[in-house]
């Protein structure tokens, strides 16, 4: 019998905790089918998109205009007429919708039981602080981001956690396990980077903005057990779920608080480290400078801010930028396209950091050997799937001064 | 606006909740939107066939391991009323899953008209246009 072309972990191996939804035999089979489909799309169908561009779309464009496309928008307009691109896009969009449907069908049939577990952990906990005066900003509600029905914020029942549970259950499917069994590859990459680049540094207070289910802040809280960690989001179903998730994983040094990054409820200089993960592309042009100014303000002298994102488009080949832009138009990520052409260096400088403090590096999720036992090989993490690959550009800046 | 009491989890219809569409105008990739629907339906059926195939595989392996059943026993099986009802409940969920895209197009028609993603992108990309609250 032939082996599967790419090592594929089963959803059975996903990292569990008290509020993680239970799945039946068939629900697991459905998640595994969708994982396989995602791998097939990136491994077998996606290469055809580049072939279609190189072999027929670009030559036709050149014949018509006497030059190659110069930006991603020209590539997009030309590619939209190509049958293979249409097919790949239709399948990719549909697979995302199927994954959402599969996750929600698992969550909503057991929502009462899941909520009872979350309630038992959350009720009266001083480490979960919800604030009814905070509502989700327009950029988080204009459309349902990455086709997640109800987005992060919708509450269907009282004390709702469904959006968090659905997000957690499906991350593994969309990324084919490449973020690790707890989908925390981003947070682990940050921990790794800090241990190599700031050895011995131990931030006392850490702030994570737009934490969703807290999957990327948990590794930092574990790496710095003495630190006081605060994770904020505007969406209550995320915060309730994230709090119960972290607690049941034995992580007790994170406070989950409902707050908006555009107006942080802390005095100046209170944090040694401020992080985000895949956050900025879900904000807006107006919000970005407001949030970064707040980041600068709450950082202590000598403090560091670090942000995981997809790479910016500057200097990128038009075809690659077009592929990376796919989510803007086809996966309900309307700000993705503007964010990735923003001048991040200038954003940092205009927020109060001195000129020259901007830095940029690349990070990659560490391969989870519980999911991919074989060394080497072609783990999902090595497949190119543009915005879905577990590789990031990290950017940030240090605030001048000496830590107290 | 007065806050309405939300339903209890067991008052929700999980089938309806699972089929909820994502807010935001859906892109159409093919020249004929009907092709989009048919592809979507075909992929759902492909998924459900894969699920069923895996369940049968599990069953056959267990039965074989334990020396319990033969293929003839499966052929001779007659469901009773309770089993039939369970199959009907499963079947409703199944059809809703397969025909999700038709459902969601109806939801879109029933809702308020939506701006294009281009328009939303332009709105979010313009300084001062943000209506966010702190």
CATH number assigned to the domain comprising residue A186: 3.40.50.150
Q: How many domains does chain A have?
A: 1
Chain A positions in Cβ-Cβ contact with residue B24 (cut-off 8 Å)? 142-144, 147, 332, 334
Q: Residue A39: is its pLDDT beyond 60?
A: yes
> A73, A326 in Cβ contact below 8 A?
no
Q: Which two tokens stand for residue A349?
A: 């400088």
The answer on pLDDT for B133 being more than 50 is no
Does the beta-carbon distance from B124 to A138 stay under 8 Å?
Answer: yes
- Residue A356 pLDDT grade (very low, low, confident, very high; cuts 50, 70, 90): very high
Query: What is the average pLDDT across B111-133?
Result: 80
Torsion (CA) B18, B20, B26, B28 in degrees, nearest 10: 50
In this predicted structure, the answer to whether residue A237 has a pLDDT above a threshold of 60 is yes
A273 — phi, psi (to 5°)? -145, 130
pLDDT at B23: 95
Tell me the per-residue pLDDT of B42-69, one tens digit each, with 9 for 90 and over.
999 999 999 999 999 999 889 988 999 8
Query: How far is the C-alpha of A38 from the C-alpha of A36, rounded, in Å?
Result: 5
CB atoms under 10 Å from CB of B61, counted, come to 10
Q: Is residue A2 part of a domain?
A: no
The pLDDT confidence band at residue A377, using thresholds 50, 70 and 90, is very low
Given pLDDT bands bounded at 50, 70 and 90, which one contains residue A4?
low
Q: Would you call B103 helix, strand, or coil by DSSP?
A: helix
Cβ distance of A112 and B6 shorter than 8 Å: no
Residue-wise pLDDT for A69-90, tens only, equals 999 999 999 999 999 999 999 9
Q: Over range A188-194, report the average pLDDT.
A: 97
Q: Report pLDDT for A279.
A: 98
Q: Do B22 and A147 touch (CB under 8 A)?
A: yes
If pLDDT is split at 50, 70 and 90, which confidence band does A383 have? low
Predicted TM-score (pTM) of the model is 0.89
Single out the residue of B131, B127, B54, B78 nearest to residue A286, CA to CA: B127
Tell me which residue range forms the domain holding A226.
14-404
Question: What value does the mean pLDDT take over residues A288-299?
Answer: 98
B113 close contact with A: CB closer than 8 A: no
Q: Which residues have a Cβ under 8 Å from the Cβ of A335 and sit 6 or more positions away? A: A139, A281, A282, A283, A284, A285, A328, B121, B124, B125
Determine the residue among A83, A147, A286 to mutate to test chain B binding: the one whose Cβ has the most chain B Cβ atoms within 10 Å: A286
- Name the strands in the sheet holding A359-364, side by side, starting at the edge strand that comes first in the sequence: A128-129, A254-258, A228-233, A205-209, A271-277, A299-309, A391-398, A359-364
Of the candidates A150, A138, A169, the residue with the CA atom closest to the CA atom of residue A34: A169
- What would the mean pLDDT of A333-345 be, rounded to a whole number? 96
Summary mean pLDDT of chain A: 94
Strand, coil or helix: what is A113?
A: helix
Contact A26 B44 (CB under 8 A): no
Instruction: Give the other-Cβ count within 10 Å of A248's Cβ.
Output: 16
Residue A3: inside a domain:
no
Does residue B134 belong to the interface with chain A, where contact is any CB pair within 8 Å? yes
């Amino acid at each position: 019998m032939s082996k599967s072309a790419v090592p594929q972990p089963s959803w059975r191996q996903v990292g569990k905790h008290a509020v993680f939804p239970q799945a039946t035999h068939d629900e697991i089979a459905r998640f595994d089918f969708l994982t396989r489909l995602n791998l097939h799309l990136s491994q077998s169908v996606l290469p055809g998109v580049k072939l279609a561009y190189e072999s027929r779309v670009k030559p036709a464009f050149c014949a018509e205009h006497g030059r190659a496309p110069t930006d991603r928008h020209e590539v997009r307009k030309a590619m939209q007429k190509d049958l293979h691109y249409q097919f790949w896009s239709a399948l990719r969009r549909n697979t995302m919708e199927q994954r959402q449907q599969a996750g929600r069908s698992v969550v909503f049939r057991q929502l009462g039981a899941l909520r009872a577990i979350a309630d038992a952990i959350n009720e009266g906990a001083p480490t979960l602080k919800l604030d009814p005066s905070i509502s989700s900003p327009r950029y988080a509600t204009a459309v349902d981001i990455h086709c997640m029905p109800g987005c992060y914020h919708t509450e269907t029942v009282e004390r709702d956690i469904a959006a968090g549970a659905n997000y957690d259950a499906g991350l593994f499917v969309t990324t084919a396990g490449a973020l690790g069994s707890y989908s925390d590859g981003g947070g682990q990459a940050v921990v790794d980077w800090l241990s190599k680049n700031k050895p011995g540094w131990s931030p006392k207070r850490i702030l994570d903005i737009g934490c969703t289910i807290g999957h990327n802040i948990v590794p930092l809280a574990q790496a710095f057990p003495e630190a006081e960690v605060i994770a904020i989001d505007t969406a209550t179903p995320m915060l309730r779920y994230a709090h119960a998730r972290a607690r049941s994983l034995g992580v007790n040094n994170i406070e989950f608080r409902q707050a908006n990054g555009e107006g942080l409820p802390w005095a100046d200089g209170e944090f040694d480290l401020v992080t985000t993960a895949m956050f900025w592309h879900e904000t807006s042009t107006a919000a970005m400078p407001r949030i970064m100014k707040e980041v600068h303000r709450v950082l202590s002298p000598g403090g560091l801010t670090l942000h995981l994102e997809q790479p910016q488009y500057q200097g990128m080949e038009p075809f690659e930028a077009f592929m990376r832009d796919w989510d803007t138009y086809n996966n309900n990520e309307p700000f993705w396209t503007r964010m990735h052409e923003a001048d991040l260096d200038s954003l940092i400088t205009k927020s109060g950091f001195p000129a020259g403090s901007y830095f940029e590096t690349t990070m990659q999720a560490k391969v989870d050997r519980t999911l991919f036992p074989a060394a080497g090989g072609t783990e999902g993490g090595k497949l190119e799937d543009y915005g879905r690959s577990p590789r990031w550009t990290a950017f940030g800046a240090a605030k001048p001064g000496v830590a107290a | 606006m007065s806050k309405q009491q939300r339903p209890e989890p067991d008052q929700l219809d999980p089938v309806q909740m699972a089929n909820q569409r994502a807010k935001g105008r859906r892109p159409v990739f093919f020249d004929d939107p009907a092709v989009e629907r048919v592809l979507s339906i075909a992929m759902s059926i492909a998924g459900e066939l894969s699920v069923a195939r895996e369940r049968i595989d599990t069953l056959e392996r267990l039965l074989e391991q334990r020396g319990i059943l033969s293929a003839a026993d499966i052929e001779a099986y007659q469901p009773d009323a309770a089993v039939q009802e369970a199959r009907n409940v499963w079947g409703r969920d199944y059809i809703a899953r397969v025909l999700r895209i038709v459902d969601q197009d109806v939801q879109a028609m029933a809702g308020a008209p939506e701006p294009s993603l281009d328009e939303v992108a332009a709105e979010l990309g313009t300084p001062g246009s943000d209506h966010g609250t702190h």
